[in-house]
Amino acid sequence: MTILTQRPTAPLSHAPQEAQPQAPAHSHHPDARLFGLIIFLVADGMTFAGFFAAYLTYRAVNPLPVNAEYELELLLPAVNTLLLLASSLTFHRGSKALMASRMSDCRGWLLLTAALGAAFMAGQMWEYFHLPFGLTDNLFASTFYALTGFHGLHVTLGAVMILIVWWQAGRKGYFTPENHFGFEAAELYWHFVDGVWVVLFALLYLL
């Protein structure tokens, strides 16, 4: 026969218990966000490279007939190029203002950058409505609209990102010289879009 015995319970104590050690935080993990952004831009650049290669291939193997060659206007695309190059400069000035904790100046430069991007898109749309060819006229027309349209989509998304960053910069303490990844990501993306346009301008308008 088994006899069950009850172990005496310890008296309740109202003394504060000693705090248990906390598990180590994960704040020491390396920040891979910038690396991820660079990988994304490289992949996006490869997409543009595919478009460029396709355009050059089509141009080499399927040239337009003599009576179907187009004389593209250079003035408006050149002005658009200057607008985008200027927008990279203004974004950089905004970054400098952020690093100096001059948030009012930073937001002003961001608004100017977004305005330059909007002016670029307005010029692009004006060109579309005055081109002597349509989307499906021939192979050159299709690749022209595909290249410029895909880039225009990037400019539009970049302008939206700039406006989001502008709004965030207006919140006290949201961006600091030590913590501003969102701002940095938008700036790198915008410089990438500007660089792609320089290549596109050279291939489509100057070649």
| CATH number where 88 lies | 1.20.120.80
Please say whether the beta carbons of 91 and 187 come within 8 A. Answer: yes
H helices within the chain, ranges in order? 33-61, 75-99, 103-130, 139-169, 181-201
| Residue 36 within a domain | no
- At 151, give phi and psi (nearest 5°): -70, -40
Q: Give the pLDDT of residue 196.
A: 95
* 3-state SS record for 1-27: CCCCCCCCCCCCCCCCCCCCCCCCCCC
Instruction: Give the tens place of pLDDT for each residue, 145-168.
Output: 999 999 999 999 999 999 999 999
How far apart CA 194 and CA 5 sit, in angstroms, is: 82
For residue 33, name the pLDDT band (cuts at 50, 70, 90). confident
| Residue 79 within a domain | yes
Count of domains forming the chain: 1
The C-alpha R_g of the chain, in whole angstroms, comes to: 28
Instruction: Give the tens place of pLDDT for each residue, 93-103.
Output: 999 999 999 99
Instruction: Give the tens place of pLDDT for each residue, 4-16.
Output: 445 555 444 444 4
Q: Give the pLDDT of residue 58.
A: 81
> In this structure, what token pair is assigned to residue 33?
């966000």
How far apart CA 59 and CA 147 sit, in angstroms, is: 14
| Residue 42 within a domain | no
Instruction: Give the tens place of pLDDT for each residue, 51-88.
Output: 899 888 887 776 666 655 667 888 999 999 999 999 99
- Entry field: residues in the chain: 207
| Residue 12 within a domain | no
- Per-residue burial over 37-50, b if 16 or more Cβ lie within 10 Å, else e, is beeebeeeeeebee
Residue 67 or 22, more confident: 67
| Residue 109 within a domain | yes
Q: Give the pLDDT of residue 69.
A: 60
How far apart CA 82 and CA 171 sit, in angstroms, is: 32
Q: Measuring CA to CA, which residue among 207, 200, 197 is closest to residue 83?
A: 197
| Residue 117 within a domain | yes
| Residue 22 within a domain | no
Give the global pTM. 0.79
Please say whether the beta carbons of 59 and 140 come within 8 A. Answer: yes
The residue segments making up the domain with residue 116 are 48-59+73-206
